[in-house]
């Protein structure tokens, strides 16, 4: 199996290095073969090659069985007038690889309930997954441009969805709900937006295929509130691209830090073992303020590696082992700076990675 690592910018190289070590250790322990390849994307690729997503990187992604990405972007490339931006790498990969469904699980570790700004009693038992549409909506709709209008400068973006895009996302979300607690909330803004009204209409059609799943429509503004007040009530949350982007940053606070949330982006394309050829990445950004200082939390990248093993390679035991190893390391009291708590030892990115690597052997079933 071939994994393409795209370290990207900022803390991306540091966290993907640790995730790769964890994958290598799993391959040894669980007896499967892994080959790694890397390519440059994002700001690093703009600097080296003049474009954020060089054709070679995209081709390598298409040839791989799964892609592990760190993060892209940084102040160096942030000029709002620039035509070439690191984020285009990410959007290009998602679009070109057809990764329309982005799974973002949020399940706070019991050890970290105090690391969240929310009360532990609100967080206990939270176990939800946001299924975010990833290749449509306002991120990709045309026209998207800046121009001169009668009142001066103006700019516009277009939120557009067709029924096919909505139906496939809803089917993914319903299928996941069926394997979980059988509850699905579809989030939209149907009281204002036409695209949301079509979203809701199609969601209701797809719902008929899944009669055993309890379904509700929730307006996005209300969901922003429910996520803080009663997050335990949600199982699967399906939503369009921009709403999902915003709600998952909010939901990361339930887990205590953005540095803890992994994600999997899946589409229809399959790999050598007949499973989705996914892209796995932490939901956090490149954190330029702490880049290169060995301060980043590698757990989101490491947990993304677990999702990679589960969804793209079918290595469920190894994936589970990573998740248990992470929980064990947290119970031992190791913390990176973002989740530092009184009485715990603050460690760097590499030391955290080493702790997870070392914890794996003990949690391998039969060990």
Q: Is 235 in the site for ligand IPM (CB under 6 A)?
A: no
Nearer to ligand IPM by C-beta: 285 or 353?
285
Three-class DSSP category at 330: helix
335: which strand partners?
346
Q: Is 245 in the site for ligand IPM (CB under 6 A)?
A: yes
Binding partner of residue 87 among ligand IPM, Mg ion, none, CB cut-off 5 to 8 Å per kind: ligand IPM
Q: How many chain residues interact with Mg ion (CB under 5 A)?
A: 1
**Residue 65: active-site member:** no
Binding partner of residue 90 among Mg ion, ligand IPM, none, CB cut-off 5 to 8 Å per kind: ligand IPM
Min CB(285)–Mg ion separation in Å: 7
Those residues with Cβ within 8 angstroms of residue 336's Cβ, 6 or more apart along the chain or in another chain: 259, 295, 296, 297, 298, 299, 346, 347, 348, 349, 352
Q: Pattern 200-239, binding to Mg ion, x per CB under 5 A? A: ----------------------------------------
Q: Is 87 in the site for ligand IPM (CB under 6 A)?
A: yes
The CA distance from 93 to 114, in Å, is 36
Nearest one of 168, 43, 48 to 99, comparing CA atoms: 168
Distances (CA, A) of 359 to 302, 320, 322, 337, 362: 13, 13, 9, 20, 6
Nearest one of 250, 169, 166, 235 to 200, comparing CA atoms: 166
Q: Pattern 276-305, binding to ligand IPM, x per CB under 6 A? A: -------x-x--------------------
Those residues with Cβ within 8 angstroms of residue 59's Cβ, 6 or more apart along the chain or in another chain: none
**The one catalytic residue among 235, 245, 295, 338:** 245
**Residue 114: active-site member:** no
The CA distance from 318 to 27, in Å, is 8
**Residue 37: active-site member:** no
The CA distance from 247 to 223, in Å, is 8
Q: How many chain residues interact with ligand IPM (CB under 6 A)?
A: 6
Which residue sits closest to ligand IPM, CB atoms considered?
A: 87
Those residues with Cβ within 8 angstroms of residue 55's Cβ, 6 or more apart along the chain or in another chain: none
**The one catalytic residue among 221, 233, 289, 358:** 221
Structure tokens at 320: 């589970």
Three-class DSSP category at 278: coil
**Residue 79: active-site member:** no
**The one catalytic residue among 189, 215, 235, 295:** 189
Q: Is 90 in the site for ligand IPM (CB under 6 A)?
A: yes
Nearer to ligand IPM by C-beta: 25 or 276?
276
Q: Which helix (H) or strand (E) holds 355?
A: helix 349-363
Binding partner of residue 74 among ligand IPM, Mg ion, none, CB cut-off 5 to 8 Å per kind: none
Rg value, the chain, Cα: 20
Q: Pattern 60-79, binding to ligand IPM, x per CB under 6 A? A: -------------x------
C-beta atoms surrounding 209 within 10 Å: 12
**Residue 280: active-site member:** no
Min CB(86)–ligand IPM separation in Å: 8
The binder of Mg ion chosen from 245, 281, 323, 338 (CB under 5 A): 245
The CA distance from 57 to 84, in Å, is 16
Report the interface residues with Mg ion, using CB under 5 A: 245
Report the interface residues with ligand IPM, using CB under 6 A: 73, 87, 90, 245, 283, 285
Active site residue ranges: 139, 189, 221, 245, 249
């Amino acid at each position: 199996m071939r994994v393409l690592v795209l370290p990207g910018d900022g803390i991306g190289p540091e966290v993907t290095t640790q995730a790769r070590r964890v994958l290598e250790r799993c391959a040894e322990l669980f007896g499967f073969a892994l080959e790694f390849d890397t390519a440059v994307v994002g700001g690093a690729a703009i600097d080296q090659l003049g474009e954020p997503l060089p054709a070679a990187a995209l081709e390598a992604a298409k040839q791989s069985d799964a892609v592990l990405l760190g993060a892209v972007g940084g102040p160096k490339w942030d000029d709002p007038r620039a035509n070439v931006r690191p984020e285009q790498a990410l959007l290009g990969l998602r679009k070109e690889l057809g990764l329309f469904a982005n799974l973002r699980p949020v399940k706070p570790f019991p050890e970290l309930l105090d690391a969240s700004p929310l009360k532990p009693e609100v967080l206990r038992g939270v176990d939800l997954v946001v299924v975010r549409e990833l290749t449509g909506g306002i991120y990709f709709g045309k026209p998207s441009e800046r121009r001169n209008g009668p009142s001066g400068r103006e700019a516009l973006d277009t939120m557009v969805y067709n029924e096919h895009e909505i139906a496939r996302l809803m089917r993914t979300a319903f299928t996941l709900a069926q394997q979980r607690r059988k509850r699905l909330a579809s989030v939209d803004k149907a009281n204002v937006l036409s695209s949301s009204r079509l979203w809701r209409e199609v969601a209701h059609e797809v719902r008929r295929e899944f009669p055993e799943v309890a379904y509700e429509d929730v307006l996005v503004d209300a969901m922003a509130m429910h996520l803080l007040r009663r997050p335990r009530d949600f199982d699967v949350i399906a939503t369009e691209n921009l709403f999902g982007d915003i709600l998952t940053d909010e939901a990361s606070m339930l887990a205590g830090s953005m540095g803890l949330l992994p994600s999997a982006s899946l589409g229809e394309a399959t790999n050598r073992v007949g499973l989705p050829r996914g892209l796995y990445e932490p939901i956090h950004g490149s954190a330029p303020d702490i880049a290169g200082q060995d301060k980043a939390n590698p757990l989101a990248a490491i947990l993304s590696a677990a999702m990679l093993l589960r969804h793209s390679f079918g290595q469920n035991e190894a994936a589970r082992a990573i998740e248990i190893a992470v929980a064990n390391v947290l119970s031992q009291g190791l913390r990176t700076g973002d989740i530092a708590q009184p009485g715990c030892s603050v460690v760097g990115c590499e030391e955290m990675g080493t702790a997870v690597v070392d914890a794996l052997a003990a949690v391998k079933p039969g060990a």
